[in-house]
Amino acid sequence: MHLQQITGHTRFGGLLGSPVAHSLSPAMHNLSFETLGIDAVYLAFDVGQEKLGETVRVFRDLNTYGFNLTMPDKKKVMEYLDEISEAAGLIGAVNTVVNDNGRLIGHNTDGTGYTESVREQGFDLKGKEVTLLGAGGAARAAAVQMALDGVKALHIVNRRSPSFIEACDLADRISRHTSCRVDVTDLGDESAVRSLLAGSDLLTNATSVGMAPDTDASPIRDPSMLESGLVVSDLIYHPRRTKLMEQAQERGLKTFNGMYMLLWQGAAAFRLWTGREMPVALVRERYFR
């Protein structure tokens, strides 16, 4: 593997979380730095919540360009930052931090990653009606960014579990801070879900139902709910074709998975750190085939 030259001026940043050894982010960002001739490197640091504050202080003091966060650090890090973007505040989590001369500014590019991947599929979110399955971290990021990007109505569908309260809280936050109309429905109420889907332009699955190894599962038990004209998006990308996507394709509907959400959230973070565009085509060719 070719390694870019490290100099006395090389700045560093990276990914904080635990575990992080599996992450594709170092490969994506280091290829981008080298391609654009930027004297910087991106590393992965296995850091849990107990060491997060200390690590953030080091990243601030050493004049890093910033860092990403993954679980379990996305919420905890907010305690150590100087400023938080509107999207990150609404989501209640930060995945990207910019070090602006010692001032740490938190952003969340997960939602941007999703909405950009949707646009890449030729789907314009503005003025549309969306049904979103789930209320976890990925769902929150997607929901907030879709609302900020002009979705007209957002129907959050979640099981009657402890996370249902979180779904209601998310709906209240989005309603108070955007012009998007948001409601919450019990996934177990199939009649209500069928009605929502009949009026929706896009269905987004942000649950883990259908993820490997349980690939025979689908959050939609009755495929007849998937009516003509509906576009179906699944944030799962392992497998690349989920049971939900199979159901939709059998009914002639357009589908796409969440494979490129990681790519576009990384591109958004890269732009925040460098002011330049990630060479997305090259990164896609190298790591997302």
* Span 46-53, average pLDDT: 96
Q: What fold does the segment set 11-109+262-287 form as a domain?
A: Rossmann fold (3.40.50)
Q: What is the dihedral of CA 126, 130, 136, 138, to 10 degrees?
A: -40
Considering the chain, tell me which residue range(s) the CATH 3.40.50.720 domain(s) occupy. 122-253
Q: Is the pTM of this model over 0.75?
A: yes
Which DSSP string do the residues of 123-189 spell out, in sequence order? Answer: ---TT-EEEEE--SHHHHHHHHHHHHTT-SEEEEEE-SSHHHHHHHHHHHHHHHHSS-EEEEEETT-
pLDDT tens per residue across span 72-92: 999 999 999 999 999 999 999
Q: Which CATH class is domain 122-253?
A: alpha beta
Considering the chain, tell me which residue range(s) the CATH 3.40.50.10860 domain(s) occupy. 11-109+262-287
Which DSSP string do the residues of 233-254 spell out, in sequence order? Answer: EES--SSSS-HHHHHHHHTT--
pLDDT tens per residue across span 115-149: 999 999 999 999 999 999 999 999 999 999 999 99
pLDDT tens per residue across span 152-179: 999 999 999 888 999 999 999 999 999 9
Query: If DSSP codes are grouped into helix, strand and coil, which group holds residue 230?
Result: coil
- Using only C-alpha atoms, what is the Rg of the chain? 19
Question: What residues are labeled active site?
Answer: 74
Q: Give the span between the Cα atoms of 37 and 257, in whole angstroms.
A: 32
Preceding omega of 223 cis (within 30 degrees of 0): no
Query: 4 or 267: which carries more pLDDT confidence?
Result: 267
pLDDT score recorded for residue 259? 87
